[in-house]
Amino acid sequence: MRRLSVFNQVSIDGYFRTTDGDISWVKSQRDDPEFRAYISGNASGEGLLLFGRKTYEMMASFWPTPEAAAAFPEVAKGMGKAAKVVFSKTLKEPGWSNTTVVSGDLVTEVHKMKEGPGAPMVILGSGSIVAPLARAGLIDEYQLLVFPVVLGAGVSMFAGVGKSIDLTLKSTRPFKNGITLLVYEPR
């Protein structure tokens, strides 16, 4: 069975974006060579990336650009190379290399993907798909980069889960810029 992980950036108060959709707060803490090396090494282009439509459109508007290639060459290359699936009922043409649009029922489609052969899958951002997949018990690992910022209000990737999900801490990794990676698995 294929593994499904979530890789997300959250504020210390648990939000992955502000209520108006802003995520610019994640850019303020990246000036750390060890952190940049971790992000670059994590973006190999291996595996299958899963997105909701909003996050996909945001990623597709940045990663294929010359600006992304100049600022984050390894990450931009990995993002372009990676196979991508965007779950959307409205998007018809993805417009970014190696992307498939899936419009069927999210939980059913991901369950089928997990049962089939292939590389591990990772959800990047995409809170709209994290909550239903967490509720369905389809997520095997949560990798959270906790940023040292309090937003005061925002959107949780778990909004709408509607139940308690007990997790076990598997590892931690602090970075000099104050960001801490926390890796959890469901119990």
What residues are paired with 167 via a beta bridge? 186
Name the DSSP class of 155. B
Q: Is the pLDDT of residue 75 over 70?
A: yes
Q: Is the pLDDT of residue 138 over 80?
A: yes
Residue with tokens 């509607």: 162
Residue with tokens 């419009």: 103
Q: Is the pLDDT of residue 79 over 80?
A: yes
Q: Please classify residue 159 by burial: count the beta carbons closer than 10 Å to its beta carbon, then call 0-12 exposed, 13-18 middle and 19+ buried.
A: middle
Residue 108, CA atoms < 13 Å, CB-side half-sphere: 4
What is the pLDDT, as a whole number, of residue 72?
A: 84
Dihedral, CA atoms, 104, 107, 109, 115, nearest 10 degrees?
-170
- In the chain, how many domains are there? 1
What residues are paired with 145 via a beta bridge? 9, 181
What is the pLDDT, as a whole number, of residue 44?
A: 64
What is the pLDDT, as a whole number, of residue 28?
A: 66
Q: In terms of residue numbers, what domain contains 112?
A: 4-186
**Proportion of the chain above pLDDT 90, given as a percent:** 72
CATH number at residue 12: 3.40.430.10
Mean pLDDT of 34-58: 84
Alpha helices in 86-156 (DSSP H): 106-115, 127-135
What is the pLDDT, as a whole number, of residue 40?
A: 75
This prediction has a pTM of 0.91
- Type of residue at 100: T
What is the pLDDT, as a whole number, of residue 45?
A: 62
Average pLDDT value for the chain: 91
What is the pLDDT, as a whole number, of residue 30?
A: 64
The model's pLDDT over 108-125, given as tens digits with 9 standing for 90+, comes to: 999 999 999 999 999 988
